[in-house]
Amino acid sequence: MVRPIAFLVGLFFAGMLVYSGIRGAIVLVTEPTAKTAEKVFHKHPRHVDWSFNGPLGKFDQAQLQRGFQVYKEVCAACHGLKLVSFRDLQNIGYTEGQVKTIATEWAIETPTVNPETGEPATRKSIPADKIPSNFANDTAARAANNNALPPDLSLITKARHNGPDYVYSLLTGYVAKQPAELVKQFPDSEIKKGSTLHYNPYFANLNIAMAPPIIANDQVTYGEGAPKATVDQMAKDVSAFLTWTAEPKLEVRKQTGLAVFIFLLAFTWLAWMSYQNIWSEKKKKA
């Protein structure tokens, strides 16, 4: 008795599956999902030929240092890097002494507590400190940014699809005016006068609360021997730097991957040769 019931229950479930599959397909064809401004106008990041792309990719240390300089002089006003310590900067070529100077001279001091009164206070940073945020907490950060939260940038290139390309495209992708076609098709998405939003087709919902941070050539003064500090170059450099903050061990990962690949190739060859060797006698007999 149990068997036919189990069979019928199974049949019922299979039937429902087929039914909902067919219904879903019909709805998909007859009622296509509504078009949204993001679906029509959102752009995929532009591809950049990074030095760290590909299986043999490596960071360009001079570029990382320039990127750090852009972060320090432009982005640090709003964005923290809470997973990066000052002393980590030694890994992109700064000496111990330079790191010490960078930490003590950092414009934003490290939060602490006054040991006598217990009141919140700040002190000069030391190399072991994490790079401090300009804001005490998210509420303060929002208060200073028209209620938008500038995210911590330590992992941003990992948190977004095609991270390095994305950050570069976002920084260089601002468009002064929304396309007329967009406003016509989606009047709700219009950026009204007096709004603090900016049109940027690379941002997920097209209207970003961050004003274009890199706006003029030579906004940051690069040192001797560096390429010209164009907007494009600065955007690339800071994106490369943020790739390093998100994955400082990228080079080791790539080198290990290559070594493992070569090992596996050699091992496959060895396995094939021993297979041939073991079976050669038997084959001859047959």
Least Å from the CB of residue 69 to ligand HEC: 11
Considering the rule CB under 6 A, would residue 220 count as an interface residue with ligand HEC?
Answer: no
Choose, by CB under 6 A, the member of 183, 209, 226, 250 that binds ligand HEC: 209
Neighbouring CB atoms inside 10 A of 201's CB total: 19
Q: How far is CA 112 from CA 106, 136, 146, in A?
A: 15, 11, 27
Between 110 and 149, how does the x/- string for binding to ligand HEC read (CB under 6 A)?
-----------------------------------x--xx
Considering the rule CB under 6 A, would residue 229 count as an interface residue with ligand HEC?
Answer: no
Choose, by CB under 6 A, the member of 45, 150, 164, 173 that binds ligand HEC: 150
Least Å from the CB of residue 217 to ligand HEC: 14
Considering the rule CB under 6 A, would residue 79 count as an interface residue with ligand HEC?
Answer: yes
CB nearer to ligand HEC: pick between 95 and 196? 196
Distance between CA atoms of 209 and 197, rounded to whole angstroms?
A: 5
Least Å from the CB of residue 210 to ligand HEC: 3
DSSP 106-173: -SSPEEEE-TTT--EEEE---TTSEEPPSSSSHHHHHHHTTT------TTHHHHSTTHHHHHHHHHH-
Contact positions toward ligand HEC, by CB under 6 A?
70, 74-75, 77-79, 145, 148-151, 153, 156, 160, 167, 170-171, 208-210, 213-214, 238
